[in-house]
Amino acid sequence: MVNEIIMPKMGESITEGTILEWRKKVGDKIELDEILLEIGTDKVDSEIPSSFSGTVVEILAKPNDVIEVGKVIARVDSETNDTGKDAVEQNQSNELSENHSKTIKKENFLENTNTKSPEGSSKVKIKNKNNFFTPLVLKIASKNNISHSQLEKISGTGINQRVTKKDILDYLDSNNDPIKKPIELNNQKKNEEIKLENNSRIEEMPKMRKLISEHMKHSLDTSAHVYLMSEVDMTQIVNFVSQKEDQFFLKEDYKLTYTPFIVEAVMKSLMDYPEMNASLFGTKIHYHKNINIGLAVALENGLIVPSIANCEEKNFLGISRSINIMARKARENRLSIDEIEGSTFSITNFGVFGISIGTPIINQPNTGILGIGAIKKQPVVIESGGVDSIAIRNMMILSLGFDHRLIDGSGGAKFLNSVKISLEGFNSEKFEVF
């Protein structure tokens, strides 16, 4: 029985993917869940396992092909035996397999020619029978004028130390050996180099910064941003963390931080104010069933916002564990498409850098984002029994950004005050973690 392998859906908003590398060729045996190919999108590269065991009888897409989700890309015959292998190879198009093999062999030297490919990029010749580069890597190398010696220096993290798309992009993003390129300005001829002062340089913007730039500009063009701030007394939570952090670390093997307390408070408030857990599409309001809180994680070249899904179904410990897992996977570049999509509200903590107040940009298509400021000791006037006194308290400023198209100032104020009340009302005696 011949089974079809289709381009998988890599995420809710992903409609196509790029074939990076086939791990099998026509005639090869493959087991169920064995890696068949590698697929790349704008957000992540993924190894795709086979949905069937048998023999690969047809490959319908070449490396660098961009294929729509749901299209057939290969076929596996689950009934083909060893004696049928030769027949399979003879009956299928050997030209595709042979051309693919010629393309990915790394030859003795790398050179750019003036011959243009159909996509407009220069062709790259690779000669070195002992090494292996994927067509996508070669394409990036050609486009960015990476020499043979530079390509050889890149440490590969793929199978058999293969240089992956991420490896070469990281190499381009690094400052160790920046690729100098001509910059085209309105008052300059094409390919004319900018004259720079001593010790200055020009570099191409890293890919992650380009994506962040596009996303932030889109958000500012889409939502009517409004901001409210409020001070929160975090003394009770600060004291609890100080008392329990050692015990918590022994039990969970990671540090107890203030973030899960804030996420839990936000989750409770979102349940009371569902319009803040909504998305606006034109004139249609989508009230989300689940509460998926995105947490901004700072990386070397930017930030990423993994999503803690279904927070309403988790207790404090579940939220805390999810935050730790997502943050670790983000810094190790192991997040899947589903883990960086689907947030319904976002939180960004600039307080870890000592900043008190900020005005974060809404993470589309969310309606709101909460900025967390640094917790600092301050003298605060406390009223008790009609008597005022001054005490040293651990204070934090919350900055709420929201879309004024959907939420008015009163709605934003009520939500922010709800989060404040939840945090200040923390009662360690009723709080069970251990």
The residues that are catalytic are 404, 408
Per-residue tokens: 99: 């051309």
Contact 292, 202 (CB under 8 A): no
Residue 132 to residue 106: CA distance in whole angstroms = 5
CA–CA distance, 151 with 166 (Å, rounded to integer) = 13
DSSP summary character for residue 339: G
Tell which phi-psi region holds residue 79, choosing left (phi > 0), alpha (psi between -120 and 50) or beta. Answer: alpha
**Helix axis angle, 135-143 to 94-104, nearest 10°:** 50
- Separation between Cα atoms, residue 32 and residue 427, nearest integer Å: 52
The 3-state secondary structure of 72-102, one letter per residue? EEEEEECCCCHHHHHHHHHHCCHHHHHHHHH
Q: Is 27 left (phi over 0), alpha (psi -120 to 50) or beta?
A: left
Terminal Cα distance for the chain, rounded = 54
DSSP state of 155: P
Gyration radius of the chain's alpha carbons: 27
CA 132 vs. chain centroid, Å, equals 28
Question: Distances in Å between the alpha carbon of 6 and those of 3, 37, 94?
Answer: 10, 12, 21
The pairs formed by 214-217 with CB atoms below 8 angstroms and a separation of 24 or more are 215/363, 215/364, 216/361
Tell me if 234 sits within 8 A of 394, measured CB to CB: yes
